[in-house]
Amino acid sequence: MVTKLAELVEMVKGAETQSVAVAAGQDPDTIGAIARAVKEGVVNAILVGDEVKIKAVCKDQNIDASIFKIVHEENPAAAARKAVSLVKDGEAGMLMKGLVKTPDYMRAILNKEAGMLPKGGLLTHVTLCEIASYPKLLIATDAAILPLPDMDQKAKMLGYTFKVAHALGIEQPKAALISATETISSKIPSSMDAAVLTGMSQRKQISGGLVDGPLALDVALSPKKCEIKGVGGPVAGQADIVVFPNIEAANVFYKSVSLLAGGTTAAVVMGTLAPVILTSRADDEEAKYYSIVMAAALAADTK
């Protein structure tokens, strides 16, 4: 079982190398992260974008542009569409956002005829967190896409997080449905959803791992807090996955991991035909690099 991001890198290096198609791949941070991933044998890269600008950035960063395959397309929105087509045609196993506006990037992904969202799919942002105070990698969702997921959406989110956990070698991942309390209350909708989803898991309507909730974040992650509060169960104190009730809670957690806990994050969008890397403008090169690694692990796992 992979417990550190560095271990995930080594696991990916031992698998068949996948290609990543980068939409408008001419911004310095993305090129730096992609170059590192290519040099370390994590991925091959197809940069779809302005060839002149790509080569200029490579020159500025002392990167040999020949390590990439470059597909010239000056228009960022058109570059996004071309990058998506490369993934759909099997020339690349994952997609990454470069210097293209998020609406244009998402429009290419969600296009009904030429996009990457299958029927019944649900776009979900899944984060992988390495935190020094936690003994293993922690999977969290959804910090960027779904504002207020309903119960059916949370069921799909669980399925996607289980796929990530399985790619890490976790055979029976433990998922905690986060709420403000462990008590089921009609006044706290997230606790009601958690109780129903836990029941669905017990009845095998949700498969792929163990589910328990509602659980407050402290008892989901801390055995000591569980002992103090008298909370037990198959997930409490040892969660591999935390599913948050809304985007506000998940986003605050996501940013707190790096800003306050000194942690490292990686993130992909699930629910699509292939892993999609959607990093924030505020993410540094390391976060982008590990997001590439995470996507490569998922792409290899589906082969």
The CA–CA distances, whole Å, from 222 to 6, 20, 46, 232 equal 24, 37, 43, 11
Give the model confidence (pLDDT) of 71-121 as tens digits: 999 999 999 999 999 999 999 999 999 999 989 999 999 999 999 999 888
Distance from C-alpha of 138 to C-alpha of 199, rounded to nearest angstrom? 23
Does residue 61 have a pLDDT over 90? yes
Give pLDDT, residue 191: 97
Please tell me whether the overall predicted TM-score, pTM, comes out greater than 0.85 for this model: yes
Q: Which residues contact 78 (CB under 8 A, 6 or more apart)?
A: none
The answer to whether domain 5-117+272-301 and domain 124-259 are alike in fold is: no
Q: Encode pLDDT of 37-48 as tens digits.
A: 999 999 999 999
Express each pLDDT in 221-248 by its tens digit: 999 999 999 999 999 999 999 999 999 9
Q: Which helix (H) or strand (E) holds 197?
A: helix 189-202
Coil, strand or helix at 138: strand
Instruction: Specify the amino acid at residue 35.
Output: A
> Per residue in 192-228, pLDDT tens?
999 999 999 999 999 999 999 999 999 999 999 999 9
Which tens digits make up the pLDDT trace of 249-303? Answer: 999 999 999 999 999 999 999 999 999 998 776 677 888 999 999 999 999 876 6
What three-state secondary structure class fits 210? strand
In angstroms, rounded to a whole number, what is the distance separating the alpha carbons of residues 89 and 112?
A: 16
* Structure confidence by residue, pLDDT tens digits, 131-173: 999 999 999 999 999 999 999 999 999 999 999 999 999 999 9
**Domain boundaries of the chain, sorted by first residue:** 5-117+272-301, 124-259
For residues 25 and 158, the answer to whether their CB atoms sit within 8 Å is: no
Residue 11 has pLDDT above 90, yes or no: yes
The correct CATH number of 5-117+272-301 out of 3.40.50.10330, 3.40.718.10, 3.40.50.2000, 3.40.50.10950 is 3.40.50.10950
Q: What is the pLDDT of residue 141?
A: 97
Residue 187: band (very low, low, confident or very high) from pLDDT cuts 50, 70, 90: very high
Rounded-to-integer distance, Cα 292 and Cα 44, Å: 11
Which numeric CATH code is attached to 124-259? 3.40.718.10
Beta bridge partners of 290: none
Give the Cα separation of 152 and 138 in Å (integer): 23
Q: In what order do the strands lie in the sheet with 94-97?
A: 69-72, 43-49, 18-23, 94-97, 276-277, 264-270, 124-130, 138-141, 241-243, 174-178, 210-215
pLDDT at 286: 87
The answer to whether 214 and 186 are in contact (CB under 8 A) is no
Which residues does 166 contact at the CB level (< 8 Å), separation at least 6?
A: 173, 208, 301
Which pLDDT does position 302 carry in this prediction?
Answer: 67
Continuous segment of H or E residues that includes residue 247: helix 247-259
List beta partners, residue 129: 138, 265
Check residue 278 and give its pLDDT. 85
Q: What pLDDT, on a 0 to 100 scale, did the predictor assign at position 120?
A: 87
In the chain, the amino acid numbered 176 is A
Task: Calculate helix-pair angle for 28-39, 51-60, nearest 10 degrees.
Answer: 70
